[in-house]
Amino acid sequence: MSMKHLPEIMAPAGDAPSFLAAVAAGADAVYVGLKHFSARMQATNFSISELAQLASLGRDRGTRTYVAMNTLVKPGDPEAAGRLVERLEKYVKPYALIVQDLGMITLARQAGFSGELHLSTLANLSHPAGLEVAKKLGVNRVVVPRELNLDEVKLMAEACPKGLDLEIFVHGALCHCVSGRCYWSSYLGGKSGLRGRCVQPCRRLYKQGKQDAERLFSCTDLSLDVLTKPLLDMPRVTAWKIEGRKKGPHYVYYTVRAYQMLRDNPGDAQAKKAAADLLDQALGRPTSHSTFLPQRPFMPIQPGGETSSGRLVGEVKRDQKKLYFQPREDLHPGDLLRVGYEDQPGHRTLSIRRRVPKRGRMDIPTSAKHQGPPLPSGTKVFLVDRREPELVKLIKGLEAELALFPAPETSEPKFVPKWPKNAVRAKVKPENVSLYRLPPRSRINGRAAYWLERASLGKVARGLTGRVQWWLPPVIWPDEDKKYRALIKEAVKNGAREFVINAPWQAAYFTDRKRVALVAGPFCNAANRFALQTLKDLGCSSAIVSPELSGEDMLELARNTPLPLGAVIRGMWPFGLSRFLANSVRFDSPVKSPMHEVLFVRKYGQTNWLFPAWELDLGDEYRTLDRAGFKTFVTMLEDWPKDVPKPRRTSTFNWKLQLL
């Protein structure tokens, strides 16, 4: 193993103590978020002046700072985002920005950012062909999806062009849905995961049929631990990333030290054992290797198992009117406990003020703050963070060093974006598009569109192939690259002329633009003029915006657009797409939440689609969108499952909301 190819260990930090813990552990890099444009808005995050101090200390200690600005950029955001980048460049000088929105690539360079640009896993670059597109756009590194197995990472690494590197998650939380393909939290109330506001509906209790309510979609954490060794033979995989910007310094320190041992001593059995012990003490959720080992995949969803963050240390008992528990291990001053699950009424966080011995008694205080439903006996208690004296001493020593790097006095820059030119609006009639899985038996209203699959392509007569749109799926996995190249080639041979790409990276499949027209589909998540301009530069002649945007945002985007726009106006927009599904979840069968929200699951290829059991309907806004300049109106159709009751309601998604 060449030292040149030694992957860096990337630590998360959501606050100053965690940043300092990463530096104390010797992390090669720390990735952080600001108080805006960060995909972990629930973390404390940093101000510019605070981060400037910490980044200076990091540079002095050999630790690089990466800043995540990896949220969707709405139509009114570019100026604020550009000003923030300009301030970062002036005062913090981070080594890299982590972005998901195509518009941020352009904005960062316009604002004078001189560091590297890393493409977040939220951008969903999931197949080898797309890597070349990322490089052409000026990306230096791609964070690959957490769902990829070892063989698929190899495929990505082998296809990675010179000048582009890969980053892989080795430890931390797993989302049920594919990153960048989850609209669950947003569909239920405008709190978007793409905007860093996810309320984690996948962690809730769900019930299917007569079974008891379980956490049917809640994943255990990922921990590659000893399986990281094969990654050392992949020079293009230059970074091992630890997830956890909402975690404390204890977690950060222990996970960084563990993966350093695994990286630096791959053949040392004692080092592996020591690393495993450190990870066991890190206080994350229960972990698994997930599907990373293709020969021995493990389903990371165990509905009857424990998936809460922190280590289980006891259960609540009742002694007359008092609540207490007896810890399974010693508790020390500064330790943090969570009593109950985060979605459980009455749950609370407690700080330990005095030592509590193993099997001793810890009374749970009551206060006016916790006047909700009483915690029942048996409520679980988790140790979520701790403050060992040794780690506290290290952090305090680094805090003292911060005085050597005084916080700068920052000023607000006057960044003015160089806006893309608006499209010349041709006078064309509105086009209604109906998107099907397979050709229906009934008459089609408007223009037909089909998901590009073997079944649909084989059922459309050659004479009709050129009249319809062909939609690529929102996720293409590494081993599906050849399949979709072949399907596209066959479709073009049969006369197909218009394709809808549902990730910018799918433009890589269309090298001959003379014979085809490309449309940017709604899963491209285009939400601002700069992203639309990039899609235009990639060869798209129009774009269908995501229905996740509010009505105000859609209309604002239409006023200033470099591409003609379309909208998904009716039909089955998914909660999300997933590669995981608990064995107990049945397809096309209603799954109910405690709030009586119903969903059902369908599988297409390697991907599970989670659909809400009520349709999107923006039909009342048709004229408003038409007057605003929208010219394509899409209805997404699915056969309704016979076992799922038809709803009495529809959804306008975020039309009347402010997308958070």
Q: Give which of 40, 34, 32 is closest to 10, Cα–Cα.
A: 32
Q: Give which of 235, 64, 89 is closest to 164, Cα–Cα.
A: 235
Q: Which two tokens stand for residue 345?
A: 């009424």
- Per-residue pLDDT at 428: 73
**Secondary structure (3-state) at 492:** helix
Half-sphere exposure of 285 (CA within 13 A, CB side): 27
- Per-residue pLDDT at 416: 93
- Per-residue pLDDT at 305: 77
Average pLDDT, integer, range 639-644: 96
- Per-residue pLDDT at 427: 66
Under a CB-based contact definition with an 8 Å cutoff, are residues 570 and 618 in contact?
Answer: yes
| Nearby residues of 361 by Cβ (< 8 Å), 6 or more positions away | 324, 326
Query: Nearest 5°: phi and psi at 350?
Result: -120, 145
Angle at which helices 249-264 and 269-280 cross, to 10°: 170
- Per-residue pLDDT at 413: 83
For the cut 90, the answer to whether the pLDDT of residue 498 exceeds it is yes
Weakest-pLDDT range from 161-165, 343-347, 470-474, 572-576: 343-347
- Per-residue pLDDT at 410: 85
Helices then strands, each counted (H, E), the chain:
16, 31
pLDDT tens digits, one per residue of 410-420: 888 889 999 99
**Which amino acid is it at 215?**
R
**Secondary structure (3-state) at 380:** strand
Q: How far apart are CA 613 and CA 387, in angstroms?
A: 46
For the cut 70, the answer to whether the pLDDT of residue 493 exceeds it is yes
Give strand ranges (E) for 87-220: 96-99, 116-119, 141-143, 165-172, 207-208
Q: Give which of 473, 464, 514 is closest to 491, Cα–Cα.
A: 464
Q: Dihedral through CA 364, CA 370, CA 376, CA 381, nearest 10? A: -50
What is the percentage of the chain residues whose pLDDT exceeds 90? 80
Alpha-carbon torsion (590, 302, 290, 184), positive or negative:
positive
Q: Give which of 1, 32, 39, 28 is closest to 15, Cα–Cα.
A: 32
For the cut 80, the answer to whether the pLDDT of residue 660 exceeds it is no
pLDDT tens digits, one per residue of 578-607: 999 999 999 999 999 988 899 999 999 999
Average pLDDT, integer, range 552-563: 95
Q: How far apart are CA 625 and CA 618, in angstroms?
A: 10
The two beta strands, 607-612 and 598-604, are antiparallel
- Per-residue pLDDT at 285: 82
Domains and CATH numbers, the chain: 3-175+196-304 (3.20.20.70), 311-383 (2.40.30), 431-572+615-636 (3.20.20.70)
Under a CB-based contact definition with an 8 Å cutoff, are residues 391 and 24 in contact?
Answer: yes
Average pLDDT, integer, range 261-282: 94
Q: Give which of 304, 378, 283, 287 is closest to 339, Cα–Cα.
A: 378
- Per-residue pLDDT at 369: 58
Q: What is the mean pLDDT of the chain?
A: 93
The two beta strands, 380-385 and 317-319, are unpaired
- Per-residue pLDDT at 370: 55
Label residue 637 by pLDDT band (50, 70, 90): very high
pLDDT tens digits, one per residue of 337-374: 999 887 788 888 899 999 999 999 999 887 655 555 67
- Per-residue pLDDT at 434: 97
- Per-residue pLDDT at 1: 40
For the cut 70, the answer to whether the pLDDT of residue 404 exceeds it is yes
- Residue linked to tokens 């316009």: 110
Average pLDDT, integer, range 316-325: 88
Label residue 2 by pLDDT band (50, 70, 90): very low
- Per-residue pLDDT at 43: 59
Q: Give which of 294, 287, 293 is closest to 258, Cα–Cα.
A: 287
Q: Which residue has the higher pLDDT, 310 or 158?
A: 158
Alpha-carbon torsion (80, 116, 398, 332), positive or negative:
positive
| Nearby residues of 570 by Cβ (< 8 Å), 6 or more positions away | 615, 616, 617, 618, 619, 634, 635, 636
- Per-residue pLDDT at 3: 46
For the cut 70, the answer to whether the pLDDT of residue 41 exceeds it is no
For the cut 90, the answer to whether the pLDDT of residue 94 exceeds it is yes
Task: Name the region of 563 (left: φ>0; alpha: ψ -120 to 50; beta: rest).
Answer: beta
Q: What angle do CA 163, 164, 166 make, to 5 degrees?
A: 145
Give strand ranges (E) for 243-353: 287-288, 311-315, 317-319, 322-325, 336-339, 348-351
pLDDT tens digits, one per residue of 182-198: 999 999 988 999 998 89
For the cut 50, the answer to whether the pLDDT of residue 79 exceeds it is yes
- Per-residue pLDDT at 409: 86
For the cut 90, the answer to whether the pLDDT of residue 622 exceeds it is yes
Q: What is the pTM of this model?
A: 0.94
